[in-house]
Amino acid sequence: MSDRYCVFGHPIGHSRSPAIHAAFAAQCGEAIDYTAIEAPLDDFAGAWRDFVAAGGRGANVTVPFKEEAHRLCATLSRRARRAGAVNTLVLGKNGDTYGDTTDGVGLVRDLQRHGVMLRGARVLVLGAGGAVRGVLEPLLAEGPASLRVANRTAAKAEALADDFADLGPIRGGGFEAVAGPFDLVINGTSASLGGALPPLPDDLFAAGATAYDMMYGAELTVFLRWARERGARPLDGLGMLVEQAAEAFFQWRGKRPDTAPVLAELRRSL
């Protein structure tokens, strides 16, 4: 009998996680049953309990339930405690729920796969929401020369930077205060979903810089098109999606899949 896993979200019909984990399982010779579950907005904890009662062993968690997943865990990874959110649930042998966030690890691994040097780099991260909070610790662990968080509401970016100031050279402020050049600019805002662009100066990118959007699609996002026109190398977040899934799979099954063929097939299917 296959062990059961799932991804929780609302909505969740668009999720590519079932296809990703099916590919990982086939590659690693693991028998798992992975499905997508649309949890009710007012009872995520109940949906997790029901899943466990039906034999569930672990889950991925996406919007809007990452903070609720954090609250229901008996134990948390250090990075999940820092992020205040959980995207990976693991049912322990004692029945307790362990929570982790693998988004930041996924981002860093994807950047490394593309040869982006983080140590000593000047990094700008756009946005100050949950997506950004979840990646700051892994980014700072790589030893950038500086990390700037910029947000439409400056106070929110400043508060977020204060929360992580003990981990490295991080500062926060408003979009209007951003002054380049930067070696890496990461868009963690949701602006790309609406085809919008944060208000940014044209001289944002250093020579040889990389622009990374956590969103992805068949075509470049408006942010990545704008960045490419200004000389930056554009990368989207599809690799981050696959890499964070691989980290969750490793935590569940103790095997680390080869992400390259899974990512290539996913890219072809967009």
Give per-residue pLDDT as tens, 209-243.
999 999 999 999 999 999 999 999 999 999 999 99
Residue 152 annotated as lining a ligand binding site = yes
185's CB contacts (< 8 A; 6+ apart) are 123, 124, 125, 126, 204, 205, 209, 210, 211, 212, 227, 232
Contact in structure between 181 and 206 (CB atoms under 8 Å): yes
Instruction: Find the mean pLDDT for residues 17-27.
Output: 98
Check if 3-101 and 104-239 are the same fold: yes
Name the amino acid, one letter, at 185: V
Give per-residue pLDDT as tens, 71-81.
999 999 999 99
Q: Give pLDDT, residue 166.
A: 97
Please report, rounded to a whole number, the percentage of residues in the chain having pLDDT higher than 70: 100
Confidence check: pLDDT of 206 > 70? yes
Q: Give pLDDT, residue 86.
A: 96
Length of the chain equals 270
**Least-confidence region, from 22-26, 92-96, 167-171, 244-248:** 92-96
Confidence check: pLDDT of 193 > 80? no
Residue 208 annotated as lining a ligand binding site = no
**Least-confidence region, from 15-24, 48-57, 169-178, 192-201:** 192-201
Q: Please identify which of the residues 21, 57, 66, 253 carries the catalytic annotation.
A: 66
Residue 112 annotated as lining a ligand binding site = no
Give per-residue pLDDT as tens, 57-76.
999 999 999 999 999 999 99
* Beta bridge partner(s), residue 148: 124, 171
Contact in structure between 118 and 225 (CB atoms under 8 Å): no
Residue 66 annotated in active site: yes
Protein fold of 104-239: Rossmann fold (3.40.50)
Q: Write the burial class of residue 94 (CB in 10 Å: 0-12 exposed, 13-18 middle, 19+ buried).
A: exposed
Residue 179 annotated as lining a ligand binding site = no
Residue 153 annotated as lining a ligand binding site = yes
Q: Determine the distance from the C-alpha atom of residue 209 to the mean position of all C-alpha atoms in its chain, rounded to a whole number.
A: 21
Helix axes 103-113, 238-253, angle to 10 degrees: 120
Q: Give pLDDT, residue 1.
A: 66
Confidence check: pLDDT of 246 > 70? yes
Residue 16 annotated as lining a ligand binding site = yes
Residue 101 annotated as lining a ligand binding site = no
* Beta strands, E only, the chain: 3-9, 32-38, 56-61, 75-76, 88-91, 97-100, 122-126, 146-151, 170-174, 182-187, 205-213, 233-235
Instruction: Find the mean pLDDT for residues 162-173.
Output: 97
Q: Give pLDDT, residue 2.
A: 86
The CA-atom distances, in angstroms, between 54 and each of 46, 50, 51, 93 are 12, 6, 5, 15
Contact in structure between 188 and 210 (CB atoms under 8 Å): no
Indicate the domain borders of the chain: 3-101, 104-239
CATH class of this structure's domain 3-101: alpha beta
What global pTM score does this model have?
A: 0.95
